Amino acid sequence: MLLTPGGLDMDSLDTGLSHAMGAGIDYADLYFQRTWQEGWILEDGEVKDASYNIDGGVGVRALSGEKTGFAYSNQISADALADTGKTAAGIVRSGTRRHGQAVSPVSVAASYAGIDPLNGLSAEDKVAMLKLADRVARSADSRVSQVSASLSGTHEVVLVRASDGTLAADIRPLVRFNVSVIAVHNGRRERGSAGGGGRYSMAQLRDAGVAERYAREAVRQALVNLEAVDAPAGQMPVVLGAGWPGILLHEAVGHGLEGDFNRKGSSAFAGRMGQQVASKGVTVVDDATLADRRGSLSVDDEGTPGQRTPLIEDGILTGYMQDKLNARLMGMAPTGNARRESYAHMPMPRMTNTLMMPGQDEPDDIIKSVRRGLYAVSFGGGQVDITSGKFVFSASEAYLIEDGVITAPVKGATLIGNGPEAMGQVSMIGHDMDVDPGIGVCGKEGQGVPVGVGQPTMKLDELTVGGTQS
Amino acid sequence: MAQAFDARAQQERLVSRAQQALALAVSQGADAAEVGASVDQGVEVSVRLGEVETVELSRDQGIAVTVYVGQRKGSASSTDAGEDSIRATVERALSIARYTGEDAASGLADADLMARDVPDLDVHHPWALSTEEATTLALECEQAGRDVAGITQSEGATLSTGEGVRVYANSHGFVGSQKGSHHGLSCLLIAEDGQGMQRDFDYTSARDPEALRAPAEVGREAARRTLRRLGARRPATGTFPVLFDPSLAGGLVGHLMGALAGGALYRQASFLCERLNTPLFPQWFSLEERPMERGAMASSPFDGDGVQTRNNRFINRGTIASYMLSAYSARRLEMETTGNAGGARNLRIDAPQEPVEALLQRMDRGVWVTELMGQGVNGVTGDYSRGASGFWVENGKVQYPVEEFTIAGNLEQMFANLIGIGDDLDTRGSIHTGSWLIDGMTVAGD
C-alpha cells in the first residue's frame, strides 16, 4: 500500500537509507506515509459540502550530533529517496561514513485496530448521521437557530526504517463527529458545541449514538451560555471538572516536560528531575497505550513502541517525554513520544494522552470546600510559555461556587497561572477519573497532532480568573 | 538554493494541469468546476548557540478540485499532480456530489465578475541563497543577540526563504496565476534572574530579501525585548486603559474581520450580524483594503473565486461600511461579493496617528501589553479575555514589567473605546497598524 505503487521494495529502503547515511551522519531515518481523509459538513439541514483528500510521501532525516538535515518528497520512488537522502545528509560534509544496522522489525502491542475507518459506513449512512444530529438539535429547544455538524475521518498508514535497524509500520484510524449550535433568546446569541471520536471506525462512531448525544450536549451548552453572567476577575480557588479540563495538565506541566526544551534548558522544569514540582498526591503520566484513544500510538513516528511514561509521581518529577535525538543527547531512553504532523514535518517530543491519576476525595466535598470560587467544566483551548512557565486556558463552560454550592453560569473566562506554582496549589483530587471525548489537537512549532487528556475533579487553591467583574 | 526552481515552468505546468482537470470534470458530467493548484519550495536553516541545528528543504504541491452538478457540490484534493491522480481526484469530487444536498447558493461567481485587470504586483523576488549563506546570516543574527549582556540562553535564529506559484481556474474560462516569494529571519533569546527565565523574540519578513532588516539588528532587538521582561511583577486587579503593541493591535483587526466575514454572518456566528451602516468605532477611524498594492504581503488581483479584487473600505468614519464577502456568502446574505473569497488583502488604517510616548501620557495609569496568550476570543458574542504580559504605566511613564494577568472586555465596547493610534507602524504582515490605546478594560492580576 505504501511502497508498491512507487515500485519500491525492502531492498530499495536499504539503498535509500544509505544515501542519507552520508559522511559524518550518525543516524538517519525514512518515514513513509499515506493518508486518505474524508470530511462531511452539514449546514441548514443539508450536507452542502464534502471533501476527500489524498496525501502521501517520504520524509528523510539525517542526524549528526545535535544537527539535523531534513528533506521530503511527495513522490514515493527510488529517485525521490536518492534526492531527499543526499539533501538531508548534506547537513555535514565530512566525517566517517557509517553503515546502517541490519533490519530488526519492531514488534508492538497494538493500542487500536489497524483498519480503514472510512469504509464500513456508506455515503448515505454518513449523510443520515449528520441529518439526525440536525433534527435532534433543532427539536431539543426552540431557541436553537443554527445547527452545523461535521463527520471526518483519516486512514493513515506509516512505515519507519531507521539506520539503528528499526523497521516499524502502523495503521492509524482516526474519526471525529462534531455538532455546533447557535441559540438566540431576547436578542442574545450564544454558541454551544460538542464532539468526540478516537482511533476506530466511522461505523463504531455511529453505533455509539454520537449524533444524538453531541447534538443534545451542544444545545445544553448553548442554553447554559444564554444564562451566563459576567465572570469574576481576580485570584480565587478554582475547581476543575473531570475529563477534558485535563488540558490544564497538558499546558501547565506537559509541554514543560518535553525532552527538547529540557535538553536546551529552556523549560521552567529544566534541571528539576527528582525534585518536588507539584503537591503530594499529584501523579501525572503520558500514556500512548490507552485503547482506541485519540492520542494513542501503537508505535511512534520513529518506530519506538508507544508507552506509559510516568512524569510526576506523588509530586516528584520523575520523567521527561523523549524522542531518539533528545534521549541520546541527554543519556536517556526514548519514551515513544516522537511525533510529527506528517512526512513533510520533522519529528519532535510530543504528548500522547496526558493524564492525572485519581485521588481519594468525593467530588461533592471538593465543591463544598469552596466559599467563593469558580467551577470550570469545559475549555476552548490553552497555551503555555514553557520558559517562564506561564500558561492560560479559556473556559467555555464555567459556574460560580458560592458557599460550597454551584450557582450561576459565567461567561468564558481565561485562567492564567504559572505551571510549577499551579501544580503546588492542587489541594484536593477526586476519585472520579475521566478522559476527554476525543477532541484535542496540540500545536507545537506549527505542527498539529491529535492528543488526549484526562483527570479527576480537582481543586487548585488559588488561580487568576480573567473575567470582567473586578 | 540547493534545488532549482523554475517558477515560469511551474506556472505553465500548473495551468495546464488545472485546465486538464477542468476539461475532465466537465466531460464527466460537471455543470461547472473550479481548480486550485499550487507548488511551493523553500529552505529553512536554524542555528543555535553558534552551530547549525537544522537544515530543512521543503517542496509542497497540491491540487484541489470542486465540481458542481446542478446545485450539488463535491470537493477533492491531492498532493500528487500526476495525470492518474488528477483523474482520481476529479472522479472522487464527482462521486461526492452525488450525495451532497441541493444548495441554491452554490456555484461559481458570475462570469462577468472575473478579474480582467491582472497586473504583475511585484511580489516575486526569489533569493538565490546557498545553505552556507543562509547559515552565515542566521549565525550573525543570533550572535548579535547573545553578545548583549544579560542574555543567558538561546533558542536560536532561523532564516527561511521560499517561493511558489498559485493557480486558480474555473469553467468560465478564467485562469489566474501568481508567482510569489517570502523571506524571513527570526531570533528567540532567553535571559534569567533570581526570579526565573524569560524569553522573547524579534523577526523580519518580506517579499523581497532587500527589504529584510539587518540580521544583527533583529538579534539585538530580540535581546532588548527579552531583557526588559526580567523582574516582572503582577499588576493590580481593576479597570484600566490598555495600550496594545502594533502586532497585537493587528490581532484586534483580525477579530474585527472575522466578525465581518460572510461565513460568520450567514451562520449567525458573529457579534456584528445586522450591523451594516451602524457605528462601531470613533468617527476618526477608517479601515480599508488595498489588494493591488505593489510588493505587499497579501497582494492579488483576483480572489479565491477568480473575482477582481478592489479597494474595500470596511470601516468608514467609524461606521461599518462593508462586510467581507465571497460569491457564496454574498448569495447566502442576498448581497454582492466584495472580492474577498480567501479573506482580506493588505488592510490599512486611515486615522490620525501619534507617537507612543503621547499615547502613554494620555493613558496616564494602566497596562502596556506586549504579548497575549490563549484563545479567549468569542466571535459570536465579542467577549474577550486573554492572558497578557507587558509593562505597568504610571503618570504616563513605564514603571516595571508585568506578567501573569488577563485583560478582558467585549470587542464591541473595546472598538468604541479606542482612544488613539500610534505612529509605530508594524508593516511585517498583511495588516499594517500602529499601537492601539483602548480605555476601560478589566485587568485581573493580584
Residue to mutate among B61, B267, B412, with most A CBs inside 10 A, is B267
Q: Are residues B419 and B375 in the same domain?
A: yes
Say yes or no: A122 contacts chain B, CB-CB below 8 A: no
The CATH number that applies at residue B141 is 3.30.2290.10
Q: Is residue B280 part of a domain?
A: no
Q: Is residue B283 part of a domain?
A: no
Residue of B78, B96, B238 lying closest to A54 (CB–CB): B78
Q: Is residue A360 part of a domain?
A: yes
- Of the three residues A83, A105, A127, the one that is the final residue of a domain is A105
Nearby residues of A450 by Cβ (< 8 Å), 6 or more positions away: A174, A294, A295, A440, A441, A442
Q: Is residue A291 part of a domain?
A: yes
- DSSP state letter for A253: I
Residue of A43, A67, A344 lying closest to B58 (CB–CB): A344
Smallest CA–CA distance, residue B343 to chain A, in Å, is: 20
Rounded-to-integer distance, Cα B132 and Cα B435, Å: 38
Smallest CA–CA distance, residue B83 to chain A, in Å, is: 14
Q: Are residues A101 and A238 in the same domain?
A: no
Rounded-to-integer distance, Cα B70 and Cα B263, Å: 22
Q: Are residues A452 and A313 in the same domain?
A: yes
E strand or H helix at A123: helix A123-140
| Section A448-460 average pLDDT | 97
Residue of chain A with shortest Cα separation from B64: A53
Q: What is the DSSP string of A189-228?
A: EEEEEEEEEESS-HHHHHHTTHHHHHHHHHHHHHHHHHTP
Whether A74 and B100 lie within 8 Å, measured CB to CB: no
Q: Are residues B222 and B357 in the same domain?
A: no
Q: Count of domains in chain B?
A: 2
Q: Is residue A227 part of a domain?
A: no
| Section A299-307 average pLDDT | 97
Smallest CA–CA distance, residue B169 to chain A, in Å, is: 19
Query: Which of helix, strand or coil describes residue A329?
Result: helix
- Segments forming the whole domain that contains residue A377: 233-466
Whether A346 and B96 lie within 8 Å, measured CB to CB: no
Q: Is the ipTM of this complex over 0.85?
A: yes
Whether A50 and B75 lie within 8 Å, measured CB to CB: yes
List the 151-180 stretch of A: residues with Cβ below 8 A of B: none
Output the pLDDT for position B148: 98
Q: Are residues B106 and B74 in the same domain?
A: yes
Whether A222 has a pLDDT exceeding 50, the answer reads yes
Q: What is the pLDDT confidence band of residue A101, given thresholds at 50, 70 and 90?
A: confident
Rounded-to-integer distance, Cα B161 and Cα B42, Å: 5
Whether B268 and A189 lie within 8 Å, measured CB to CB: yes
Smallest CA–CA distance, residue B248 to chain A, in Å, is: 16
pLDDT digits (tens, 9 = 90+) for A226-260: 999 999 999 999 999 999 999 989 988 999 999 99
Q: What is the pLDDT confidence band of residue A193, given thresholds at 50, 70 and 90?
A: very high
Output the pLDDT for position B2: 45
Q: Is residue A165 part of a domain?
A: no
Q: Is residue B63 part of a domain?
A: yes
- DSSP state letter for B31: S
pLDDT digits (tens, 9 = 90+) for B143-194: 999 999 999 999 999 999 999 999 999 999 999 999 999 999 999 999 999 9
Q: Are residues B245 and B127 in the same domain?
A: no
| Of A410, A398, A401, A405, residue with least CA distance to A229 | A410
Residue to mutate among A31, A34, A48, with most B CBs inside 10 A, is A48
Output the pLDDT for position B340: 98
Paired sense of beta strands A144-162 and A166-185, if any: antiparallel
Q: Is residue B217 part of a domain?
A: yes
Q: Is residue B317 part of a domain?
A: no
Whether A358 has a pLDDT exceeding 80, the answer reads yes
Residue of B98, B100, B406 lying closest to A466 (CB–CB): B406
Q: Are residues B247 and B158 in the same domain?
A: no
Torsion angle in degrees (nearest 10) through CA of A249, A255, A257, A262: -160
Q: Are residues B46 and B134 in the same domain?
A: yes
Q: Is residue A224 part of a domain?
A: no
| Of B66, B95, B61, B91, residue with least CA distance to B78 | B61
Whether B444 and A233 lie within 8 Å, measured CB to CB: yes
Whether A416 and B77 lie within 8 Å, measured CB to CB: no
Q: Is residue B195 part of a domain?
A: yes
Whether A90 and B376 lie within 8 Å, measured CB to CB: no
Q: Are residues A237 and A95 in the same domain?
A: no
Cα separations in angstroms, A29 against A26, A63, A91, A216: 11, 9, 14, 47
Q: What is the CA radius of gyration of chain B?
A: 24
Q: Is residue A255 part of a domain?
A: yes
C-alpha cell belonging to residue B150: 544579560
Q: What is the DSSP string of B406-443?
A: EEEEEHHHHHHTEEEEBS--B-SSSEEB--EEEEEEEE
Output the pLDDT for position A9: 86
Whether B373 and A385 lie within 8 Å, measured CB to CB: yes
B-chain residues near A54 (CB < 8 A): 76-80, 85, 88-89
Measure CA of the first residue to CA of the last residue in chain B; give whole Å.
52
Q: Are residues B124 and B143 in the same domain?
A: yes
User: What percent of chain A is predicted at pLDDT more than 90?
Assistant: 83
Output the pLDDT for position B3: 58
Q: Report chain B (446 residues): mean pLDDT per 10 consecutive residues.
A: 76 95 97 97 95 93 96 95 90 95 96 96 94 96 98 97 97 97 98 93 96 98 97 96 97 98 96 97 98 96 98 98 98 98 97 98 98 94 96 98 96 98 96 98 94
Q: Is residue A424 part of a domain?
A: yes
Cα separations in angstroms, B285 against A387, B66, B245, B319, B325: 38, 40, 18, 9, 22
Q: Count of domains in chain A?
A: 2
Q: Is residue B310 part of a domain?
A: no
- Segments forming the whole domain that contains residue B415: 238-251+351-444
Q: Are residues B183 and B156 in the same domain?
A: yes
Residue of chain B with shortest Cα separation from A43: B267
C-alpha cell belonging to residue A202: 466511522
Whether B406 and A416 lie within 8 Å, measured CB to CB: yes
Q: Is residue B220 part of a domain?
A: yes
- Which residue stretches of A35-122 are H helix? 78-89
B-chain residues near A381 (CB < 8 A): 374-375
Residue of A53, A67, A468 lying closest to B408 (CB–CB): A468
Q: Is residue A200 part of a domain?
A: no
